[in-house]
Amino acid sequence: MPFVINTQPVVEYQYAYPNDLMNEIAELFLMGLEESQFLIVSPEEIERQNPASIINLLNEAWKLFWSDPDNFREWEESAIQKLKSFI
């Protein structure tokens, strides 16, 4: 299913991206990440992070991007300036 609010995929979407195929791809992708020893962060892990961590910053960015895209650019510029001040 597309990650766009209040939209319906075109009829052909189900033929191009059947749920069984998408679930299989997701499982393979997760297996590949785990075997590559990438850090997979759960919502519980995010809660335990320092509020100033890069993990929290990226999570905040995604939340704002999806909830308030009109103001995302301004927030992003401010966040970049804060990061640059730490260098």
Amino acid occupying residue 36: S
Q: Please state, in angstroms and rounded to a whole number, the distance separating the CA atoms of residues 32 and 27.
A: 9
Neighbours of 49 (CB within 10 A): 14
pTM for this predicted structure: 0.51
Looking at the structure of the chain, the number of domains it has is 2
Identify the domain containing residue 23 by its residue range: 1-38
Q: What is the pLDDT of residues 24-66, one digit of tens each?
A: 999 999 899 889 988 777 888 888 888 788 888 888 999 999 9
pLDDT score for 24 = 95
Domain shared by 61 and 27, yes or no: no
Domain shared by 23 and 63, yes or no: no
pLDDT score for 34 = 87
Domain shared by 47 and 33, yes or no: no
Domain shared by 30 and 54, yes or no: no
Amino acid occupying residue 69: P
Q: What is the pLDDT of residues 1-25, one digit of tens each?
A: 455 566 777 778 888 888 899 999 9
Domain shared by 32 and 56, yes or no: no
Domain shared by 53 and 27, yes or no: no
The answer to whether 17 and 23 are in contact (CB under 8 A) is no
